Amino acid sequence: MNEQRKAGFDWMVYGAILFAAIAFLMQWLHGKDIHVPGLGLACGIPGALIMAGLIKLATGVPVWQAAERWGAMPSWKQSLFGLLLILAGVGLIGAVIAVYVHYLI
């Protein structure tokens, strides 16, 4: 495993820990009936860290270099891979919603 992949995994772990800490804080505050406006938006920061780590882990190159490689691809490949990424994202969101509805409601 090269250094970029290790760094990407580390970024994902740090982002997951930070996300879990913010989620725990939100639950704790909710239990105390304390409402902090905008705290839910703070989950976007570790989410971005996780996504950048995933890019580094999957490609093995820094994020900026992955962006350059994406731009160098022929447009038909960009369209195809972009569509596949969107469909995978929609499928993942649908799976999360289905699990939430099935087990938590």
- Tens of pLDDT, residue by residue over 10-39, are 999 999 999 999 889 988 998 899 888 888
Q: In angstroms, what is the C-alpha Rg of the chain?
A: 17
Mapped onto helix, strand or coil, the DSSP state of residue 61 is coil
Q: Output the pTM of the full model.
A: 0.72
Per-residue pLDDT tens digits for 61-103: 988 898 899 899 999 999 999 999 999 989 999 998 998 888 8
CB burial readout 2-30, b (16+ within 10 A) else e:
eebbeebeebbeebeebbeebeeebeeee
| 8: Cα separation from own chain's centroid | 12
Give the integer Cα–Cα distance in Å for 88 and 90: 6
Per-residue pLDDT tens digits for 39-51: 878 888 898 999 8
